[in-house]
Amino acid sequence: MTMTLHIDPTHLLRPDFIWGVATSAFQIEGAADEDGKGESIWDVFCRQPGAIADGSDGRIACDHVHRLDEDLDLIASLGVDAYRFSISWPRVQPQGWGPWSEEGLGFYERLVDGLLARGIRPFATLNHWDLPQVLQTQGGWMARDTAHRFVDYARGIQRCLGDRLASIATHNEPWVIAILGHEKGIFAPGLTSRAAAAQVNHHLLLSHGLALQALRADGASAPLGIVLNMSPQEPATDSPADRALARLQDGHGLRWYLDPLLRGRYPDDAWTDLGRDAPRMEATDLAAIAQPLDWLGINYYTRNVVSSAGPWDPVAHGLPVTDMGWEICPDSFHALLTRLHRDYALPPTFITENGGAFPDPVQADGLVHDQDRIDYLRTHIAAVVRAAQEGVPLAGYFVWSLMDNFEWASGYAKRFGIVHVDYATLARTPKASARAYRDALTRWRVGARA
């Protein structure tokens, strides 16, 4: 059955609730080596045979750098309050330290000014995974020095753009950088060491805390936060083995970040489990990490069902999945939000990413009728509204993603956009979900402000 997108009942969200769309630099920008841009670890990783499913890379991506004005108009046409994007560190500081690129900074100035001119709030993320390759050759996030380089980079961005940004996030999804990039080897830089991943996790958190301290000392005006990917770890059965494993994975995946950020300590169970692979740290690190957060970002896509018998496949259990094979479960989203607030008393919290990849065939009329995505967004936004009603301090919601883009190791085959991108022509065509989102926001505003 066709159902449109309703955000209802309207009064359960604060009237200044922010609705947005999100992207990241490497996934959309292209212009990979123009204007003196340095290489990032993802430029290098894409050249490794077999690293990317379709053998693609980010050299052109959505060609956003060359289509900035068109994309700004596209964002405005959606009627959103805010646009979440990331800054490519090697575009603005090609070596990761030292000289800045005027052209690179100029691009982000045009982006930010173009958003403000259209009445859209710029939400910037400093690190959405594309570390300068020069820093990787010096140890990357395994090296403590990279945390200090990151602080310099953050200060430079604030000097240039800080007065115009509505929000600054330090990192996007440190778990992905550490675990997928350094333990499982399926994301850049492609390493396979549990000890390396643990050290990377620590340095990412440390750099976050040091950056917050430095930005505040410099007089930050934009609210400062960090974005975490969170999947509730749910035991497959009630057996003690499944429950214990789910609890441990909760320690590694959720509490590993929230405990140091909000409580100033690492969780005992995950720390003990790491044994000799636990990170090396200095005496003041935990205090540095636990800086007050102006806001927290949560990215939610799916739950993770944990079975001591081995990997658990939702398809084998007849459950609905997206094109990524990720189970569609909005109830777990609601449960996650209420549990996190119960356990941590969350600061103002944004859903900084939520969305789904679907096959999205272009129909005979030239359009994409992505009812499956509309249903995904409808049920997940309802979960957000329900959590807000129960007291979770939710301040905004961003759809992932504005447009189809480079989905990392999956290449261009997986489409998350509410705007379709034809990779042969780079034409952008809003999907049915884009119209549904815009219309839902219009209706919500009328109700919320009535």
- Residue 358 CB, shortest distance to ligand IFM, in Å, is 13
299 annotated ligand-binding residue: no
- Residue 391's contacts (CB-CB under 8 Å, 6 or more residues apart) are 341
Which of 345, 156, 353 lies closest to 261, judged by CA? 345
Cα-based angle 8, 9, 10 (whole degrees, multiple of 5): 90
CB atoms within 10 A of CB 138: 14
**Residue 376 interacting with ligand IFM (CB under 6 A):** no
Distance, CA of 187 to chain centre: 15
Q: Measure the CA–CA gap between 421 and 405, rounded to whole angstroms.
A: 8
Q: Residue 397: enclosing H or E segment and its boundaries? A: strand 394-400
Q: Is 400 in the site for ligand IFM (CB under 6 A)?
A: yes
End-to-end CA distance of the chain: 30
Report whether 375 contacts 383 (CB < 8 A).
no
Name which of 88 and 299 has its Cβ closer to ligand IFM: 299
Smallest distance, ligand IFM to C-beta of residue 414, A? 8
102 annotated ligand-binding residue: no
- C-alpha dihedral (211, 342, 305, 350), degrees to nearest 10: -40
Please say which residue, 173 or 327, places its beta carbon nearer to ligand IFM: 173
**What tokens were used for 389?**
């009603």
Smallest gap, in angstroms, from Cβ of residue 229 to ligand IFM?
Answer: 6
Q: Within its chain, how far is the Cα of 269 from the centroid?
A: 26
Beta carbon of residue 191, minimum distance to ligand IFM (angstroms, whole number) = 19
Separation of alpha carbons 59 and 45, rounded Å: 12
Which position among 353, 360, 375, 404 is part of the footprint of ligand IFM (CB under 6 A)? 353
Q: 295 or 400: whose CB is closer to ligand IFM? A: 400
Active site residue ranges: 173, 353
Asked if 130 interacts with ligand IFM (CB under 6 A), we say no
Q: Which residue is it, tokens 């499982």?
A: 184
Residue 404 found at the interface with ligand IFM (CB under 6 A)? no
Give dist(CA 90, CA 69) in Å, integer: 22
CB of 259 to ligand IFM, least distance (A): 22
Within the chain, what is the greatest distance between any pair of CA atoms?
A: 63
Minimum CB separation from ligand IFM for residue 142, in Å?
22
Single-letter code of the amino acid located at 77: S
**What whole-number distance in Å separates Cα of residue 196 and Cα of residue 189?**
11
Nearest distance, CB of residue 209 and ligand IFM, angstroms: 22
Which of 130, 173, 259, 372 is in the footprint of ligand IFM by CB under 6 A? 173
Instruction: Give the nearer residue to ligand IFM in terms of CB position, either 45 or 266.
Output: 45
How far does CA 16 lie from the centroid of its chain? 22
Rounded Cα distance between 165 and 221, Å, is 8
Q: How far apart are the C-alpha atoms of 311 and 314, rounded to whole Å?
A: 10
User: CB-side exposure of 99: number of CA atoms within 13 Å?
Assistant: 7
| Interface mask toward ligand IFM for 5-44; x: CB under 6 A | -------------------x--x-----------------
Q: Nearer Cβ to ligand IFM, position 23 or 136? A: 23
**128 a known binding residue?**
yes
- Residue 295 annotated as lining a ligand binding site: no
- Beta carbon nearer to ligand IFM, 156 or 190: 190
- Residues between 409 and 448 that touch ligand IFM (CB under 6 A): 416
The reply to whether 300 sits in an annotated binding site is no
Answer for the pair 181, 200: CB distance below 8 angstroms, yes or no: yes
* 437 labelled binding-site residue: no
Is 397 annotated in some ligand binding site?
Answer: no
Least distance from C-beta 184 to ligand IFM, angstroms? 15
Helix axes 102-117, 68-77, angle to 10 degrees: 30
407 binding ligand IFM? (CB under 6 A): yes
| Contact assessment for residue 41 and residue 133, using Cβ atoms and an 8 Å cutoff | yes
One of 40, 127, 299, 322 touching ligand IFM (CB under 6 A)? 299
Taking the least distance from each CB to ligand IFM, the nearer of 27 and 167 is 27
> Contact at 8 Å (CB) between 416 and 405?
yes
Q: How many helices (H) and strands (E) does the chain have?
A: 16, 12
Nearer CB in complex with ligand IFM: 158/299: 299
Binding site residue list: 27, 128, 172, 301, 400, 407-408
Contact footprint for ligand IFM (CB under 6 A): 24, 27, 173, 299, 353, 400, 407, 416
Binding site residue list for substrate: 27, 128, 172, 301, 400, 407-408
